[in-house]
């Protein structure tokens, strides 16, 4: 098999395209012929040794895949060779074959492409957990989405609208605003590029407050962090919920007096740990996502595909925060 391996900590330029022996599934595993691998921000971090999990090298990045089951390990009875699958595997997806546990997998509907299947679970799974379990979003409430043109941002727009929220999408360019509007955002905000000085931070807070109205935002979905966080928090409603999803712009330091003044909650969102700790609740969310997918209330927006040899370029584009929607590497 071929694999795009991280052999030393660093950026995408350190990845090496390598020939390896085909893996064999051990007891309780299946072997997958990988057809597509979605790229997410954890792939940027994991090869730099900046992610929560640090796999033993060499390893292939790529935590979200779709493909076809090629072989069954001993004891696997619920799957067949030839089944089309999709799932989140942590890492290892930028390889033509991978052996993994079947509980990480879901059946890919026949009418959906491998690229779509690879692009669904992580972003929408993170977001439905964030909005429902952590944000307690209700119909008629207001939702501010930062970084709204990225994979999780567009998922937040779609799910916010599916659950009856008024959605304001904050983005960094006109092109990204158009993508957010196309996903269903009621309003868009275009902000500048951080870092911000004190006056710029204040101006951004006023921009958020103007869109949030007198009551402020009931839920703020923040997969960006950095200098955007405090201005957004200043626009939150009384007893609002601020959802901490990610930090591509840096880890912010929030003034906690704001949480007292608004009696608001700052809520961490760690979907991977949630899925591991409460697999039944996560399974229920995924079933709901498949329902919304069938109803076309949600649809992964795969805006760019990359050949397997250019998998590192996809990670470079993700690192530059230039992506709109989902980036997918065609593997098989």
| CATH, domain range 2-120+300-330 | 3.90.180.10
Neighbours of 174 (CB within 10 A): 10
Q: Which residues pair with 306 in a beta bridge?
A: 329
Q: Measuring CA to CA, which residue among 181, 167, 108, 174 is closest to residue 139?
A: 167
pLDDT digit string (tens) for the chain, length 332 residues = 999 999 999 999 999 999 999 999 999 999 999 999 999 999 999 999 999 889 999 999 999 999 999 999 999 999 999 999 999 999 999 999 999 999 999 999 999 999 999 999 999 999 999 999 999 999 999 999 999 999 999 999 999 999 999 999 999 999 999 999 999 999 999 999 899 999 999 999 999 999 999 899 999 999 999 999 999 999 999 999 999 999 999 999 999 999 999 999 999 999 999 999 999 999 999 999 999 999 999 999 999 999 999 999 999 999 988 889 999 999 98
DSSP code at position 173: S
Q: Which residues pair with 302 in a beta bridge?
A: 326
The three-class DSSP label of residue 137 is coil
Cα(281)–Cα(219) distance, integer angstroms: 22
Cα(94)–Cα(63) distance, integer angstroms: 8
**CB neighbours of 266 closer than 8 A, spacing ≥ 6?**
233, 242, 244, 254, 259
The three-class DSSP label of residue 310 is helix
Residues of the chain with CATH 3.90.180.10: 2-120+300-330
Superfamily name and number for 122-272: NAD(P)-binding Rossmann-like Domain (3.40.50.720)
Cα(79)–Cα(28) distance, integer angstroms: 11
Q: By the 8 A CB rule, do 98 and 31 touch?
A: yes
Q: Which residues pair with 163 in a beta bridge?
A: none
Structural Rg of the chain based on CA atoms:
20
Residues of the chain with CATH 3.40.50.720: 122-272
Report the helix count and the strand count for the chain, using DSSP H and E.
11, 15
Scan for tokens 């997958």, then name that residue. 32
Write the secondary structure of 57-97 as one string of H (helix), E (strand) and C (coil).
CCECCCCEEEEEEEEECCCCCCCCCCCEEEEECCCCCCECE
């Amino acid at each position: 098999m071929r694999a795009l391996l991280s052999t030393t900590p660093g950026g995408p330029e350190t990845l090496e395209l390598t020939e390896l022996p085909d893996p064999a599934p051990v007891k309780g595993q299946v072997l997958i012929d990988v057809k597509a691998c979605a790229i997410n921000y954890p792939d940027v971090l994991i090869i730099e040794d900046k992610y929560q999990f640090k796999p033993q090298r060499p390893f292939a990045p790529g935590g979200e895949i779709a493909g076809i089951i090629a072989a069954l390990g001993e004891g696997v009875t619920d799957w067949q060779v030839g089944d089309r699958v999709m799932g989140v595997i942590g890492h290892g997806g930028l390889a033509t074959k991978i052996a993994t546990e079947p509980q990480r997998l879901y059946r890919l509907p026949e009418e959906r492409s491998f690229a779509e299947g690879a692009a669904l679970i992580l972003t929408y799974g993170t977001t439905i957990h964030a909005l429902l379990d952590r944000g307690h979003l209700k119909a008629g409430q207001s939702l501010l989405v930062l970084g709204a043109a990225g994979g999780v941002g567009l998922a937040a727009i779609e799910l916010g609208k599916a659950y009856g929220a008024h959605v304001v999408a904050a983005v960094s360019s006109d092109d990204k605003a158009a993508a957010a509007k196309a996903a269903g955002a009621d309003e868009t905000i275009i902000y500048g590029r951080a870092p911000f000085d004190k006056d710029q931070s204040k101006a951004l807070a006023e921009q958020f407050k103007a869109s949030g109205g007198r009551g402020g935002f009931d839920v703020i979905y923040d997969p960006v962090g950095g200098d955007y966080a405090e201005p957004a928090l200043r626009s939150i409603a009384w007893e609002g919920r601020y959802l901490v999803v990610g930090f591509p712009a840096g880890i912010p330091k929030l003034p906690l007096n704001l949480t007292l003044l608004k009696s608001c909650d700052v809520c961490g969102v760690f979907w991977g740990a949630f899925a591991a700790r409460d697999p039944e609740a996560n399974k229920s969310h995924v079933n709901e996502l498949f329902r919304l997918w069938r109803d076309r209330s949600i649809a992964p927006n795969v805006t760019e595909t990359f050949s397997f040899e250019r998998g590192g370029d996809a990670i470079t584009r993700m690192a530059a925060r230039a992506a709109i929607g989902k980036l997918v590497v065609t593997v098989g």
